[in-house]
Amino acid sequence: MKVLKDQNKKMINKDDMYNRTNVDDEDVREKIKKLIKKKKYNLRNLSRNIKKNDAYLQQYLYRRTPKVLPEKYRFMLAEILDVNVNELIPNWLKDLSSQEQFFTVRNIENKVNNTTQISFSRELLHGLEFINVDNLYYFQSHISDGHITTIVDVSINKFIKPDIYLLNDNKNYFLAIIEISKISQSKLSVKPYFNKFSPFQINANLLNISGKILWQCSKIFLK
């Protein structure tokens, strides 16, 4: 399983290329300003939560430095503001980006109040083992100070090796670490990823696995 920080180095070179030749459209900056105002976020805290200095977003939004928001920070900001990253992408970058550079995944829960789909850079798929991108969905676990976004491969619906899986209990999805039980080879040891549920043992053929987690990133921020 990969996390967002594993891909940052690959993205920086591309961002440097963009900065030499293009600038973000003014409507992108205005959209970000309106979202920040609407959600009553603090620019300093937002800057910190995308791992930049306190004045970074102030300078980007009002002094136009940098000219282009690097892709990794654009994605992180979209996560914090809870919008599809495509809404924060300037027109020139949309034209430059082909289907080979971005992919869209659907929400596995498909709840009315949830965003039905979100887009990711295809660079995030590098090093991941999967057969078909159409089998990929996303799932979000909400926690007290943010949420965790995961990409799930639904073609894997049985235990194959110790890892994090998405389980389904009467249409209630949750993440769990699964491994072979030390008590019996025919049983699995299931430890929920969060402490809402107690660990338990179960026969392998009785466990309802919805998919295996391929990629994960967390969003922790302050208002």
Question: Domain with 9 in it: what CATH number?
Answer: 1.10.260.40
> Which domain, by its residues, includes 63?
2-97
Query: Are residues 93 and 25 both part of a single domain?
Result: yes
Question: What is the C-alpha radius of gyration for the chain, rounded to an integer number of angstroms?
Answer: 19
- Residue 150 included in any domain: yes
Query: Are residues 127 and 194 both part of a single domain?
Result: yes
Query: Are residues 11 and 87 both part of a single domain?
Result: yes
Model pLDDT, residue 2: 52
- Residue 104 included in any domain: no
Query: Are residues 85 and 140 both part of a single domain?
Result: no
Query: Are residues 65 and 150 both part of a single domain?
Result: no
- Residue 25 included in any domain: yes
Inter-residue contact 175 to 109 (CB < 8 Å): no
Predicted TM-score (pTM) of this structure: 0.56
- Residue 114 included in any domain: no
- Residue 28 included in any domain: yes
Between 52 and 5, the higher pLDDT residue: 52
- Split into its structural domains, the chain has a count of 2
Least confident of 100-109, 126-135, 195-204: 100-109
Residue 115 has pLDDT above 80, yes or no: no
- pLDDT one-digit tens code per residue, 87-111: 888 877 666 555 456 778 888 987 5
Residue 34 has pLDDT above 70, yes or no: yes
Between 18 and 183, the higher pLDDT residue: 183
What value does the mean pLDDT of the chain take?
79
Query: Are residues 159 and 210 both part of a single domain?
Result: yes
Q: Which residues of 168-192 are buried (b: 16+ CB within 10 A; e: fewer)?
A: beeeebbbbebeebeeeeebbbbee
> On the CB side of 205, how many CA atoms lie within 13 Å of its CA?
1
